[in-house]
Structure 1
Amino acid sequence: MELSEFDVRYLPKSAIKAQALADFIAEFTPSQDELNKDEGVEMWVINVDGSSTLYVGGIGVILKSPKGDKLEYAAHLQYQTTNNEAEYEALLKGLELAKSLGAESIIVKGDSQLVINQVNGMGDTKEDRTKKYLSKVRQLAQKFTEVSFVQLPSEENMEANALPKAASGGGIMDTYDRIQYMPSIDLPDIQQIEGGESWMSPIVLYLKDGKLPGDKDEARKLRVRAAKYVLINEVLYKRGLS
């Protein structure tokens, strides 16, 4: 077949430079947000962090809903722990809170490379306590339709990083944050929940049943206070800024 009349010339295919190829892939690969929109997935994002000092520790969790709502949780660990165990405590709490809020698809982000690698099956787990933590994380993860664990640089996790530092004594904690007295893996299967009246009772009653004081001024004040909190499984948590 004659091709000369069309002035067709053969040229050897040139190689694509590595950087150009990387730029091409980065430009045309859809982001996680774009994939979520295309697939209609309501993905929750959970940032976690834990830290410890000589005698105590702290954990912080930030949950962001698909609609952009944000919930912050911090707890003071009133026992001697390690940084890695504090990271696991934060991870467990993040999973528990997400499930309590009805999340089905989640991305958990933490800056501990060791813990995230272990959860993803890419790290050694020789210590018995680490194996217990890992087992508990996997049990909770199975309750979700979709879950992924992502390690990110600590400078990209600064908001979550600030919570355990404050909770472990390095900053000011709100009076509504919580205290944990023993590791999650050492807790009994069944625990007695203490009852009784407290400063939380009016807020809980309002959030749960819509009950307000008879006095108009007190009712207004209660509405303002209650707007800062969310009730999850009979436990009161302070909302983060959206």
Structure 2
Amino acid sequence: MAINMEITAVEIYGDSKLIINQLLTEYELRKDDLVPYFWLATQLLQRFEAVTLEHVPRKENQMADALAILASSMTLGEDEAANVPVYQRWVIPLVIEIVLSDTNVISILPVNVEEWRQPLINYLEHGILPDDPKHRSEVRRRAHRFLYYKWTLYR
């Protein structure tokens, strides 16, 4: 999203000391299943003019805690929808297809069957809630943890 917004400098704070230090090349990358993520992150970081990577221990991550509390405490009316900008993606795009040739990767294709994500997408995109009162409150309760952006649901 930062690239799409043409942001040139990013500060990245992460609570995983392993991941931050691997990206800083202070730690060696040992697990094969992390290689595609490492290469993708490296390619993405090269697209910025300035990048700062910093490890923040979970105990000291008050900003993330404050944002989580704020998002969970938001009260919405019946017809209101909230889009909290949180971005977490676990699918590796085909940008790094060359790297993936030596790695075990599973491709996942969308299925046209109603599943657990569809009510969340309906609510986040159109403000539509299910008819069942129990399911309605569950969708409203869980929706603040998700973002629907460019036809993909992110947590």
- Relative to the length of structure 2, the TM-score reads 0.47
More strand by share: 1
Determine which structure has more spread, i.e. the larger CA radius of gyration.
1
Higher normalized contact order (CA 8 Å, seq sep 6+, divided by chain length): 2
